[in-house]
Amino acid sequence: MQECPAAFVFFKTRFDAVVVAEVLQSSNPMLWVTELAPEPHDIYWSNLCIPYRQLWIRKLATLLGAIVFMFVFLIPVTFIQGLTQLEQLAHAFPFLRGILKKKYMSQLITGYLPSVILMLFLYAVPPTMMLFSVLEGPISRGGRKKSACVKVLYFTIWNVFFVNILSGSVIRQLSVFSSVKDLPTQLAKAVPTQASFFMTYVFTSGWAGLACEMVQPFALICNVLKRFIFKIDEDSPDSTFSFPYHTEIPRILLFGILGFTNSIMAPLILPFLLIYFFLAYLVYRNQILNVYVTKYESWGRYWPVFHNTTIFSLVLTQIIALGVFGIKKSPVATAFTIPLILGTLLFNEYCRQRFYPIFKKNAAQALIEMDREDDQTGRLEEIYKQLKSVYCQFPLHSRMLIEAESNNCPDQDIPNLEAPDPGEEHIHKSELLAFQFSPERDKPSPK
């Protein structure tokens, strides 16, 4: 097996690990790169050997790829929005004028068909963004899933919300932003025109999505194929699923944006969103507790995403209110809305300074207290026993090595270890030991 220029290093205390992870090891910051390692089940082994110098190139390339994919997706979204406008559809396709005059056909085409088509197209977005996130080179599964979640969220906000409310040709959509001064007015005029589309989207993507989440059709089909076609009765550990944060969180946050922005000019959508959030609480609570398996801890890394998106929703709603008051010729209400926007931004800045650093770094005070508690309770001995197995990529190697040591067998007497996969090359013992000297801790150790 090819040697990997990376290693897991264990320290006796969490405080020492954090200090080493934060301090520069040499005058060249790219020579020795240290960071807190993910927990054992969170490690994405295939990205562990990516050179540090390639990471910024990968991030830039995936960012450009995601932007290109986002703009390519304008083609189906623009076509879908053409279905909501019968006049443009009849003008583009004259042979459909007779069909479009029928009431039930016009209701079907303008009501349910656009949202259903858009939802079908959106099913291709999470796998694509997950592929981009893997190419970025994160060393943890949680980091990969969070990166995909952010990409899907940006993609959904742009293509489902902004592109739909600024309907029409692409040239018209871009011309709206030619004057920033008219942006609140344009948004105030555009949001109510798409209220029926967003309401139908809540039915098709929200309510129907919750029903699919309960039934789990994909997992059900895979289970039927495995048991009745391939005759496999045993369940492997890899067959269990973890919660799909990168697909569900963007959907929930999008519905929050729809609720905030439509509450001024189209409040009829609010009862349907209230029902969705009530059902979503029950469904997701059941799925997380009884269906999905928590394979690793995310350490609250999604809370900043929720906070930033909620602040963005509030500011966008206040900008739309500014445009509504401008249309209504109400200077007093407009004057009171501007301080509201500034107050929201100041509150966001306070939260960023007060709470956001906790999600990026570990507090030394908390780590010292945890170290003292482990030392007093004697838990360190239990942790030391796990050193040889917890960060090993090959469980079979780890088990045989522990058995050899328990029998007081020296290193040279350890039998020839083979990887679990028969086609895998033998791993050298020095490489094996380099991966093993890290314990399973309440907080991750540095890599």
Per-position b or e across 86-114, b if 16+ CB within 10 A of its CB: beebbeeeeeeeeebeeeeeeeebbbebb
Determine the structural domain holding residue 23 and report its residue range.
14-36+365-436
pLDDT tens for 72-98 read: 887 777 666 655 555 555 555 565 555
Of 250, 256, 352, 358, residue with least CA distance to 312? 256
79, part of any domain = yes
Q: Indicate if 296 and 337 belong to the same structural domain.
A: yes
Distance of CA 239 to the CA centre of its chain: 21
pLDDT of residue 446: 44
Boundary-marking domain end, from 335, 361, 387: 361
278, part of any domain = yes
pLDDT of residue 106: 57
pLDDT of residue 440: 36
Instruction: Give the integer Cα–Cα distance in Å for 152 and 174.
Output: 22
Q: Indicate if 118 and 241 belong to the same structural domain.
A: yes
Backbone phi and psi for residue 336, each to the nearest 5 degrees, phi listed first: -80, -20
Q: Indicate if 306 and 238 belong to the same structural domain.
A: yes
Q: Indicate if 405 and 292 belong to the same structural domain.
A: no
pLDDT of residue 311: 95
Q: Indicate if 355 and 375 belong to the same structural domain.
A: no
Q: Indicate if 356 and 369 belong to the same structural domain.
A: no
Instruction: Give the integer Cα–Cα distance in Å for 210 and 248.
Output: 10
Boundary-marking domain end, from 361, 383, 417: 361
Tell me which long-range contacts 423-428 makes (C-beta under 8 A, separation of at least 24).
424/1, 425/1, 426/1, 427/1, 427/394, 427/397, 428/1
Boundary-marking domain end, from 361, 382, 416: 361
Q: What's the average pLDDT block by block, 10 residues per block, for the chain (447 residues)?
A: 75 84 82 83 84 87 91 75 57 57 59 71 87 89 91 90 66 47 77 83 86 83 78 65 88 93 89 93 91 82 92 93 87 89 95 89 86 82 72 62 51 38 33 32 43
pLDDT of residue 61: 93
pLDDT of residue 200: 83
DSSP 3-state of 446: strand
Q: Indicate if 86 and 60 belong to the same structural domain.
A: yes
169, part of any domain = yes
Amino acid at the residue 428: H
pLDDT of residue 441: 38
Residue pair 199/248 in contact (Cβ under 8 Å)? The answer is no
Instruction: Give the integer Cα–Cα distance in Å for 49 and 6.
Output: 7
Q: Indicate if 352 and 394 belong to the same structural domain.
A: no
Residue pair 372/442 in contact (Cβ under 8 Å)? The answer is no
Q: Indicate if 153 and 28 belong to the same structural domain.
A: no
- Give the tokens for residue 155: 């993609």
pLDDT of residue 277: 94
Amino acid at the residue 253: L
3, part of any domain = no
Task: Say how many domains are in the chain.
Answer: 2
187, part of any domain = yes
Helices (H) and strands (E) in the chain, counts: 24, 0
32, part of any domain = yes
Q: Indicate if 141 and 252 belong to the same structural domain.
A: yes
What letter would DSSP give residue 426? Answer: P
Q: Indicate if 31 and 154 belong to the same structural domain.
A: no
68, part of any domain = yes
pLDDT tens for 375-412 read: 888 887 777 677 667 777 765 555 555 555 555 544 44
Q: Indicate if 357 and 375 belong to the same structural domain.
A: no
Cα dihedral 133, 135, 140, 142, rounded to 10, equals: 10
* Whether the model pTM is above 0.85: no
307, part of any domain = yes
